[in-house]
Amino acid sequence: MIRRLPQLMFAVFTALLACQAGAAPIVDVAAVKAAQARGAIIWDVRATPLYRKGHIPGAASIGDAGNVLRNPVTEDFIDTAQIEKILGNAGIDPSREIVVYAERGNPYAYFGRLAIRYFGGDKVSVFHDGIEGWQDAGNPVEAGDATRVAIALKLTPRPELVASTEDVVTRAKSGAVQIVDARTAGEFLGNDVRAIRGGHVPGALNIPYEQNWKDPETNAKLSRRQVPDNKGAGLASADALKSLYAGLDPNKETVVYCQSGVRAAETAAVLETLGFNKVKVYDASWLGYASRLDAPVERETFFNVGAMNGRLASMQRKIDELERMIGELHSNHAKSACPAGKVC
Protein backbone atom coordinates (compact mmCIF):
# COMPACT_ATOMS: atom_id res chain seq x y z
CA MET A 1 0.00 0.00 0.00
CA ILE A 2 2.86 2.36 0.86
CA ARG A 3 4.46 1.68 -2.51
CA ARG A 4 1.22 2.54 -4.26
CA LEU A 5 0.78 5.83 -2.40
CA PRO A 6 2.50 8.06 -5.00
CA GLN A 7 0.35 6.57 -7.76
CA LEU A 8 -2.79 7.04 -5.69
CA MET A 9 -1.85 10.63 -4.93
CA PHE A 10 -1.24 11.22 -8.63
CA ALA A 11 -4.64 9.75 -9.49
CA VAL A 12 -6.34 11.92 -6.87
CA PHE A 13 -4.56 15.01 -8.19
CA THR A 14 -5.59 14.18 -11.75
CA ALA A 15 -9.21 13.77 -10.65
CA LEU A 16 -9.13 17.12 -8.85
CA LEU A 17 -7.64 18.75 -11.91
CA ALA A 18 -10.42 17.27 -14.02
CA CYS A 19 -13.04 18.79 -11.72
CA GLN A 20 -11.42 22.23 -11.84
CA ALA A 21 -10.58 22.43 -15.54
CA GLY A 22 -13.38 20.29 -16.97
CA ALA A 23 -11.19 17.34 -18.03
CA ALA A 24 -7.91 15.73 -17.07
CA PRO A 25 -5.25 16.37 -19.73
CA ILE A 26 -4.36 12.67 -20.01
CA VAL A 27 -6.66 9.72 -19.31
CA ASP A 28 -6.49 5.92 -19.21
CA VAL A 29 -8.68 3.29 -20.82
CA ALA A 30 -11.13 3.20 -17.91
CA ALA A 31 -11.68 6.93 -18.22
CA VAL A 32 -12.28 6.56 -21.97
CA LYS A 33 -14.99 3.97 -21.35
CA ALA A 34 -16.57 6.19 -18.69
CA ALA A 35 -16.51 9.13 -21.11
CA GLN A 36 -18.15 6.95 -23.77
CA ALA A 37 -20.91 6.10 -21.34
CA ARG A 38 -21.47 9.82 -20.71
CA GLY A 39 -21.85 10.41 -24.45
CA ALA A 40 -18.49 12.08 -24.98
CA ILE A 41 -17.07 12.45 -28.48
CA ILE A 42 -14.15 10.12 -29.17
CA TRP A 43 -11.88 11.57 -31.86
CA ASP A 44 -9.40 9.41 -33.80
CA VAL A 45 -6.81 11.75 -35.37
CA ARG A 46 -5.02 9.09 -37.44
CA ALA A 47 -4.98 8.93 -41.24
CA THR A 48 -8.16 7.60 -42.83
CA PRO A 49 -6.78 4.16 -43.90
CA LEU A 50 -5.65 3.42 -40.34
CA TYR A 51 -8.96 4.65 -38.93
CA ARG A 52 -10.97 2.49 -41.34
CA LYS A 53 -8.86 -0.55 -40.54
CA GLY A 54 -10.00 -0.40 -36.93
CA HIS A 55 -11.03 2.30 -34.45
CA ILE A 56 -12.77 2.72 -31.10
CA PRO A 57 -16.47 2.13 -31.83
CA GLY A 58 -18.24 5.36 -32.73
CA ALA A 59 -15.05 7.41 -32.96
CA ALA A 60 -15.14 10.46 -35.22
CA SER A 61 -12.52 11.13 -37.87
CA ILE A 62 -11.43 13.90 -40.23
CA GLY A 63 -8.41 11.93 -41.45
CA ASP A 64 -4.84 12.88 -40.52
CA ALA A 65 -5.61 15.88 -38.30
CA GLY A 66 -2.09 17.27 -38.43
CA ASN A 67 -2.34 17.59 -42.22
CA VAL A 68 -6.03 18.42 -42.53
CA LEU A 69 -6.12 21.31 -40.06
CA ARG A 70 -2.79 22.94 -40.94
CA ASN A 71 -1.22 24.78 -43.83
CA PRO A 72 1.33 22.34 -45.32
CA VAL A 73 3.97 25.08 -45.75
CA THR A 74 3.71 27.17 -42.57
CA GLU A 75 2.15 24.38 -40.45
CA ASP A 76 -0.14 26.99 -38.89
CA PHE A 77 -3.91 26.43 -38.57
CA ILE A 78 -5.82 26.91 -41.80
CA ASP A 79 -8.63 29.47 -41.99
CA THR A 80 -11.11 29.16 -39.11
CA ALA A 81 -14.07 28.95 -41.51
CA GLN A 82 -12.53 25.87 -43.10
CA ILE A 83 -11.96 24.27 -39.70
CA GLU A 84 -15.59 24.97 -38.78
CA LYS A 85 -16.71 22.98 -41.84
CA ILE A 86 -14.24 20.14 -41.33
CA LEU A 87 -15.03 19.59 -37.65
CA GLY A 88 -18.73 20.29 -38.15
CA ASN A 89 -19.06 17.72 -40.96
CA ALA A 90 -17.47 15.14 -38.66
CA GLY A 91 -19.79 16.03 -35.77
CA ILE A 92 -16.89 17.23 -33.58
CA ASP A 93 -18.18 20.01 -31.32
CA PRO A 94 -15.44 21.61 -29.17
CA SER A 95 -18.03 22.67 -26.59
CA ARG A 96 -18.70 19.03 -25.69
CA GLU A 97 -16.55 16.54 -23.80
CA ILE A 98 -13.95 15.06 -26.16
CA VAL A 99 -11.32 12.33 -25.85
CA VAL A 100 -8.60 12.36 -28.52
CA TYR A 101 -6.41 9.41 -29.44
CA ALA A 102 -4.06 8.03 -32.08
CA GLU A 103 -1.35 5.38 -31.66
CA ARG A 104 0.26 4.97 -28.24
CA GLY A 105 2.38 8.04 -27.47
CA ASN A 106 1.65 9.72 -30.82
CA PRO A 107 1.97 13.51 -30.26
CA TYR A 108 -0.68 14.23 -32.88
CA ALA A 109 -3.31 13.16 -30.36
CA TYR A 110 -2.03 16.04 -28.23
CA PHE A 111 -2.14 18.32 -31.24
CA GLY A 112 -5.83 17.39 -31.48
CA ARG A 113 -6.30 18.42 -27.86
CA LEU A 114 -4.49 21.70 -28.53
CA ALA A 115 -6.73 22.38 -31.53
CA ILE A 116 -9.92 21.74 -29.55
CA ARG A 117 -8.74 24.01 -26.72
CA TYR A 118 -7.63 26.73 -29.13
CA PHE A 119 -11.05 26.75 -30.76
CA GLY A 120 -13.02 26.98 -27.53
CA GLY A 121 -13.08 23.56 -25.87
CA ASP A 122 -12.31 23.05 -22.18
CA LYS A 123 -13.41 19.43 -21.70
CA VAL A 124 -10.84 17.63 -23.82
CA SER A 125 -8.46 14.84 -22.84
CA VAL A 126 -5.90 12.62 -24.55
CA PHE A 127 -5.95 8.83 -24.33
CA HIS A 128 -2.18 8.41 -24.42
CA ASP A 129 -2.17 4.62 -24.85
CA GLY A 130 -4.27 5.02 -27.98
CA ILE A 131 -5.69 2.28 -30.14
CA GLU A 132 -3.11 -0.25 -28.89
CA GLY A 133 -4.03 0.44 -25.27
CA TRP A 134 -7.71 0.07 -26.13
CA GLN A 135 -7.15 -3.31 -27.74
CA ASP A 136 -4.67 -4.50 -25.09
CA ALA A 137 -7.46 -4.03 -22.55
CA GLY A 138 -9.63 -6.45 -24.54
CA ASN A 139 -11.97 -3.83 -26.00
CA PRO A 140 -13.51 -4.21 -29.47
CA VAL A 141 -12.77 -2.06 -32.51
CA GLU A 142 -14.90 -1.39 -35.55
CA ALA A 143 -13.87 -0.99 -39.17
CA GLY A 144 -15.12 1.39 -41.83
CA ASP A 145 -16.57 4.81 -41.08
CA ALA A 146 -18.61 5.68 -38.01
CA THR A 147 -21.73 7.68 -38.81
CA ARG A 148 -22.02 10.97 -36.96
CA VAL A 149 -24.51 13.77 -37.50
CA ALA A 150 -23.00 16.87 -39.09
CA ILE A 151 -23.37 20.09 -37.11
CA ALA A 152 -23.00 23.81 -37.80
CA LEU A 153 -20.10 25.35 -35.89
CA LYS A 154 -19.07 28.91 -35.16
CA LEU A 155 -15.60 28.84 -33.63
CA THR A 156 -13.75 31.64 -31.91
CA PRO A 157 -9.98 31.14 -31.63
CA ARG A 158 -8.38 31.76 -28.25
CA PRO A 159 -4.84 32.99 -29.08
CA GLU A 160 -4.27 33.75 -25.41
CA LEU A 161 -3.91 30.00 -24.80
CA VAL A 162 -0.76 29.78 -26.92
CA ALA A 163 2.48 31.75 -27.07
CA SER A 164 3.26 33.89 -30.11
CA THR A 165 6.65 34.51 -31.67
CA GLU A 166 6.63 38.04 -30.27
CA ASP A 167 5.90 36.66 -26.78
CA VAL A 168 8.81 34.24 -26.95
CA VAL A 169 11.29 36.75 -28.40
CA THR A 170 10.42 39.34 -25.74
CA ARG A 171 10.32 36.97 -22.79
CA ALA A 172 13.40 35.01 -23.81
CA LYS A 173 15.39 38.25 -23.74
CA SER A 174 14.04 39.20 -20.30
CA GLY A 175 14.24 35.73 -18.73
CA ALA A 176 10.68 36.15 -17.48
CA VAL A 177 9.60 32.69 -18.58
CA GLN A 178 11.03 29.17 -18.44
CA ILE A 179 11.26 27.54 -21.85
CA VAL A 180 11.24 23.83 -22.71
CA ASP A 181 12.49 22.64 -26.10
CA ALA A 182 10.80 19.30 -26.84
CA ARG A 183 12.84 18.57 -30.00
CA THR A 184 15.68 16.12 -30.44
CA ALA A 185 19.17 16.90 -29.15
CA GLY A 186 20.35 17.24 -32.76
CA GLU A 187 17.80 19.94 -33.49
CA PHE A 188 18.54 21.71 -30.21
CA LEU A 189 22.29 21.77 -30.88
CA GLY A 190 21.89 23.04 -34.43
CA ASN A 191 23.18 19.85 -36.03
CA ASP A 192 19.79 18.92 -37.50
CA VAL A 193 18.49 22.02 -39.30
CA ARG A 194 14.80 21.86 -40.22
CA ALA A 195 14.10 25.56 -40.80
CA ILE A 196 16.00 28.54 -42.19
CA ARG A 197 18.18 28.41 -39.06
CA GLY A 198 19.15 25.75 -36.58
CA GLY A 199 19.85 26.08 -32.87
CA HIS A 200 17.56 26.94 -29.97
CA VAL A 201 15.90 29.74 -28.04
CA PRO A 202 18.40 31.16 -25.53
CA GLY A 203 17.95 29.67 -22.07
CA ALA A 204 15.73 26.83 -23.25
CA LEU A 205 15.95 23.47 -21.50
CA ASN A 206 16.10 20.56 -23.94
CA ILE A 207 13.87 17.65 -22.92
CA PRO A 208 12.82 15.66 -26.02
CA TYR A 209 9.16 14.72 -25.79
CA GLU A 210 9.95 10.99 -25.92
CA GLN A 211 11.51 11.39 -22.48
CA ASN A 212 7.92 11.41 -21.21
CA TRP A 213 7.68 7.72 -22.14
CA LYS A 214 8.62 4.58 -20.25
CA ASP A 215 11.28 3.93 -22.89
CA PRO A 216 12.31 7.01 -24.94
CA GLU A 217 14.04 4.74 -27.46
CA THR A 218 10.84 2.89 -28.40
CA ASN A 219 10.52 4.27 -31.93
CA ALA A 220 14.17 3.59 -32.72
CA LYS A 221 13.90 0.07 -31.33
CA LEU A 222 10.77 -0.58 -33.38
CA SER A 223 12.52 0.55 -36.56
CA ARG A 224 15.36 -1.86 -35.77
CA ARG A 225 12.87 -4.60 -34.81
CA GLN A 226 14.37 -4.87 -31.34
CA VAL A 227 10.96 -4.81 -29.64
CA PRO A 228 7.70 -6.49 -30.69
CA ASP A 229 5.38 -3.56 -29.95
CA ASN A 230 5.19 0.06 -28.81
CA LYS A 231 4.40 -0.54 -25.14
CA GLY A 232 7.54 1.43 -24.27
CA ALA A 233 5.78 4.55 -25.58
CA GLY A 234 3.40 4.39 -22.63
CA LEU A 235 3.55 7.34 -20.27
CA ALA A 236 6.30 7.17 -17.65
CA SER A 237 5.35 6.97 -13.97
CA ALA A 238 4.40 10.10 -12.07
CA ASP A 239 7.60 9.90 -10.05
CA ALA A 240 9.74 9.60 -13.19
CA LEU A 241 8.02 12.59 -14.77
CA LYS A 242 8.39 14.70 -11.63
CA SER A 243 12.10 13.88 -11.63
CA LEU A 244 12.41 14.69 -15.33
CA TYR A 245 11.03 18.20 -14.83
CA ALA A 246 12.44 18.79 -11.34
CA GLY A 247 14.54 21.70 -12.60
CA LEU A 248 11.44 23.72 -13.47
CA ASP A 249 9.17 25.77 -11.21
CA PRO A 250 5.52 24.64 -11.48
CA ASN A 251 4.35 28.13 -10.47
CA LYS A 252 6.33 29.99 -13.13
CA GLU A 253 5.03 30.56 -16.65
CA THR A 254 6.33 27.80 -18.91
CA VAL A 255 6.48 27.86 -22.70
CA VAL A 256 7.03 24.64 -24.63
CA TYR A 257 8.10 24.52 -28.25
CA CYS A 258 9.31 22.06 -30.90
CA GLN A 259 9.31 22.35 -34.70
CA SER A 260 5.64 23.26 -35.23
CA GLY A 261 3.89 22.76 -31.88
CA VAL A 262 2.96 19.06 -32.13
CA ARG A 263 5.61 17.46 -29.91
CA ALA A 264 5.36 20.48 -27.62
CA ALA A 265 1.64 19.81 -27.14
CA GLU A 266 2.43 16.42 -25.62
CA THR A 267 4.97 17.83 -23.17
CA ALA A 268 2.62 20.68 -22.25
CA ALA A 269 -0.13 18.23 -21.31
CA VAL A 270 2.33 16.23 -19.19
CA LEU A 271 3.37 19.40 -17.36
CA GLU A 272 -0.27 20.30 -16.72
CA THR A 273 -0.80 16.84 -15.27
CA LEU A 274 2.16 17.44 -12.94
CA GLY A 275 0.58 20.63 -11.60
CA PHE A 276 2.22 23.28 -13.78
CA ASN A 277 -0.55 25.89 -13.94
CA LYS A 278 0.88 28.41 -16.42
CA VAL A 279 1.79 26.32 -19.45
CA LYS A 280 1.61 27.54 -23.04
CA VAL A 281 2.50 25.85 -26.30
CA TYR A 282 4.47 28.05 -28.69
CA ASP A 283 2.35 27.10 -31.67
CA ALA A 284 4.61 28.47 -34.45
CA SER A 285 7.57 26.95 -32.60
CA TRP A 286 10.97 26.73 -34.29
CA LEU A 287 9.55 27.35 -37.78
CA GLY A 288 8.25 30.71 -36.59
CA TYR A 289 11.18 31.60 -34.35
CA ALA A 290 13.93 30.72 -36.84
CA SER A 291 12.31 32.83 -39.56
CA ARG A 292 12.36 35.87 -37.26
CA LEU A 293 15.93 36.84 -38.09
CA ASP A 294 16.22 39.39 -35.27
CA ALA A 295 15.36 36.69 -32.70
CA PRO A 296 18.45 35.61 -30.71
CA VAL A 297 19.57 32.00 -31.20
CA GLU A 298 22.06 29.85 -29.33
CA ARG A 299 24.08 27.30 -31.36
CA GLU A 300 22.96 29.12 -34.49
CA THR A 301 23.49 27.40 -37.83
CA PHE A 302 21.97 28.18 -41.21
CA PHE A 303 20.28 25.92 -43.70
CA ASN A 304 22.70 25.15 -46.54
CA VAL A 305 20.63 25.36 -49.72
CA GLY A 306 23.61 24.58 -51.95
CA ALA A 307 24.42 21.39 -50.05
CA MET A 308 20.78 20.32 -50.19
CA ASN A 309 20.61 20.92 -53.94
CA GLY A 310 23.82 18.91 -54.35
CA ARG A 311 22.36 15.99 -52.41
CA LEU A 312 19.14 16.17 -54.43
CA ALA A 313 21.09 16.21 -57.70
CA SER A 314 23.14 13.20 -56.56
CA MET A 315 19.96 11.38 -55.58
CA GLN A 316 18.39 12.16 -58.95
CA ARG A 317 21.44 10.76 -60.77
CA LYS A 318 21.12 7.54 -58.76
CA ILE A 319 17.41 7.33 -59.59
CA ASP A 320 18.14 7.88 -63.30
CA GLU A 321 20.79 5.14 -63.22
CA LEU A 322 18.42 2.72 -61.47
CA GLU A 323 15.68 3.44 -64.01
CA ARG A 324 18.16 2.80 -66.85
CA MET A 325 19.23 -0.52 -65.29
CA ILE A 326 15.61 -1.58 -64.76
CA GLY A 327 14.84 -0.69 -68.38
CA GLU A 328 17.75 -2.83 -69.59
CA LEU A 329 16.64 -5.75 -67.42
CA HIS A 330 13.10 -5.56 -68.83
CA SER A 331 14.49 -5.38 -72.37
CA ASN A 332 16.81 -8.36 -71.86
CA HIS A 333 14.03 -10.37 -70.23
CA ALA A 334 11.71 -9.64 -73.15
CA LYS A 335 14.36 -10.77 -75.65
CA SER A 336 15.11 -14.00 -73.77
CA ALA A 337 11.39 -14.81 -73.49
CA CYS A 338 10.84 -14.44 -77.24
CA PRO A 339 12.89 -16.79 -79.52
CA ALA A 340 14.69 -15.21 -82.44
CA GLY A 341 12.66 -14.98 -85.64
CA LYS A 342 9.27 -15.09 -83.86
CA VAL A 343 6.84 -12.28 -83.12
CA CYS A 344 5.91 -12.23 -79.44
Helix (H) or strand (E) holding 29: helix 29-37
Give the CA dihedral 90, 94, 96, 101, nearest 10 degrees.
70
Calpha distance 147→32 (Å, rounded): 19
Q: What's the pLDDT tens digit per position in 110-128?
A: 999 999 999 999 999 999 9
Q: Is the pLDDT of residue 179 over 60?
A: yes
Beta strands in the chain (DSSP E): 26-27, 41-44, 98-101, 124-127, 162-163, 178-181, 197-200, 205-206, 254-257, 279-282, 298-302
Q: Is the pLDDT of residue 4 over 70?
A: no
pLDDT at 13: 41
Q: What's the pLDDT tens digit per position in 239-285?
A: 999 999 999 999 999 999 999 999 999 999 999 999 999 999 999 99
| DSSP secondary structure letter of residue 73 | T
Q: Is the pLDDT of residue 5 over 50?
A: no
pLDDT at 337: 66
Q: Which long-range contacts (CB under 8 A, 24 or more apart) does 55-58 make?
A: 55/131, 55/141, 55/142, 55/143, 55/146, 56/32, 56/101, 56/131, 56/134, 56/139, 56/141, 56/142, 57/140, 57/141, 57/142, 57/146, 58/142, 58/146, 58/148
The pTM score is: 0.83
Residue 82, SS3 per DSSP? helix
Q: Is the pLDDT of residue 7 over 60?
A: no
pLDDT above 90 coverage of the chain, percent: 77
> Angle at the Cα of 240 (from 245 to 217), degrees rounded to 5?
95
Contacts of 177 (CB under 8 A, 6+ apart): 171, 252, 253, 254, 255
pLDDT at 3: 41
Stretch 69-73: mean pLDDT: 94
Q: How far is CA 144 from the centre of its chain?
A: 24
Q: Is the pLDDT of residue 143 over 60?
A: yes
